Every structure is written in C-alpha cells, then in structure tokens.
Amino acid sequence: MIEIKNISKIYKTGDVETKALKDISFSIDDGEFVAIMGPSGSGKSTLMHILGCLDAATSGQYFFDGKDVSKFSDDELADIRKEKIGFVFQSFNLLPRTTVLRNVILPLIYANFPREKREEIARNSLLSAGLDEARFNHLSNQLSGGEMQRVAIARALVNDPAIIFADEPTGNLDSKTGELVMETFRKLNKEGRTIVLITHEKYIAENAKRKISIRDGEIIEDIINHH
C-alpha cells in the first residue's frame, strides 16, 4: 500500500539545519490500523505530512500504491490527496457557517463528482461516521466537538480513500467523546479501511493494531498491539 525508504526531512532556518526525520523506512499494508506515536517535536507530524502527500521529503523514496510520489509536483500531489487520502485534523477544520452536508460534499466538488449523486454519498458517509441524521442540515458551528469530529471523519470518508490520516483526532475532545471517536475509527478499520493515527497519548495508540514510536526523528519501536 505505502512504503517509505530512507526518508529524511531537513528544515533550514537561516544557517541552522534541523533534522526532523532521519532515514526512516517502513511500509503499511492494506487494512492496517497504525498509530504513529511520539512526544511533541519527535517528527511525527512531519512524517504524517509526508505520508499524507502534504509535504515532500528532503531525500528518500515514497511509494504510494507502487508509484514513486517523492518527486511529484504540487498539483500531482493534490490529485493523490483528492483521490486516495482522507484527513481528520485535531481542530476539525470544518467550514464555518456552512451546513454539515455541504462540508462533507466539499471533497466531491474538487473531485468533479456528478452533482446529483453528491448528497446521497455524503449522507451515507455521515451515517458510517455515526452522526445523527437530525444534524445533517445544521450549521457546522452549531455542533458539539464530538459531532464536529464525526463530520470531519465523514468528510475524510466521502471520497472512498485508500487511506485515512488522523492527526490527534481526540486532542480537542474530552475523554468520553474521544473514546466514541476512537470507536468509530475501529469500526471503519473493521470494515477494511486503512487508518494511520498520529497521537502522543499512549491510551489512544492502544486502539491501533500496530504502533510505531518515534523519537528525535527516528523509529525507536515498531510493534503489533495484542488486544
């Protein structure tokens, strides 16, 4: 599914070079549920940005579905994001003053999806993310945090992506709602979705089947969780 080989990322601020990622290699197969764990500053966000085709590595190779995307242009990366990747962010990033349905439809617009089928797909997606149907026509800013994150998950699902990246999806939620959101991810994984979860909390990472721990830009642990 995805494979990275000797990925490094170096940030330059003036003369100072910061190595955010040092020669990282691993692969993720179809249907996996991987948690990438590490304290803040460990390079886990940088890794997610590269895996999510939001950023390019300084060196190394990245194969997405067999294609080497490490040298892709901005617009080619946008196409990969549009067709293969769904994102869930810590701060939800929903369009304010816009209905739930329209928020979920947004990726379909950029994918040139036929207009008449959009709403049905968005509804199905919201239902699999576990949002109550009564909320579908509410404005996004009228929802609770847990509901907002479900809308964000539905938005990530709507394009039927090959892989979903969730960046601290429970970071802005209380533990009870966080648990419900994690349950949604487990359910989606059971249905066959590949999910990559980025978190710094151990108990959140426990939800995943595989745990990759990062510190100072290097992998220090790559284990299978036994539930």
Partner 1 sequence: MFISDLFEETYFAISANKTRSGLTILGIVIGIGSVIAMISIGQGASGQIQSSIEGLGSNLLTIMPGVVQPGRGIVSSGRGAAETLKNEDIEVLRSIAGVAYISPELQRRFQIVSPAGNNTNSTIIGATAEYPLVKNVSVEQGSFILENQLRSMSRVAVLGPTVAKDLFADSDPIGKTIRINKVNFKVIGVLQAKGGAGFFNPDDIVLVPLTTMQKILAGADFLSTIAISVQEKNLMSQVQDEAVVALSVKHRVDPQNPDFSILSQADILGALTQITDTFTIFLAAVAGISLIVGGIGIMNMMMTTVTERTREIGLRKAIGAKRLDISLQFLAEAVMLTFLGGAVGIILGAGLAYGVTFFTGMATKISLFSIILAFSVSAGIGIAFGYWPAQKAAKLNPIEALRYE
Identify the residue among 12, 97, 176, 227 touching partner 1 (CB under 8 A): 97
> Contact at 8 Å (CB) between 219 and 24?
yes
Under rule CB under 8 A, which residues in 70-89 are in contact with partner 1?
74-75, 78-79, 81-83, 87, 89
Q: How far is the CB of 102 from partner 1 (least distance, A)?
A: 8
Q: Quick one: 86 or 207, whose CB is closer to partner 1?
A: 86
Of residues 169-208, those binding partner 1 (CB under 8 A): none
Residue 49 binds partner 1 (CB under 8 A): yes
- The residue within the footprint of partner 1, chosen from 44, 150, 155, 210 (CB under 8 A), is 155
Q: Which is nearer to partner 1, 53 or 210 (CB)?
A: 53
Q: Tell me how far, at minimum, the Cβ of 173 lies from partner 1, in Å.
A: 18
Site membership for partner 1, residue 54 (CB under 8 A): yes
Residues that bind partner 1 (CB under 8 A): 49, 52, 54-55, 74-75, 78-79, 81-83, 87, 89, 93, 95, 97-98, 102, 106-107, 109-112, 115, 155, 159
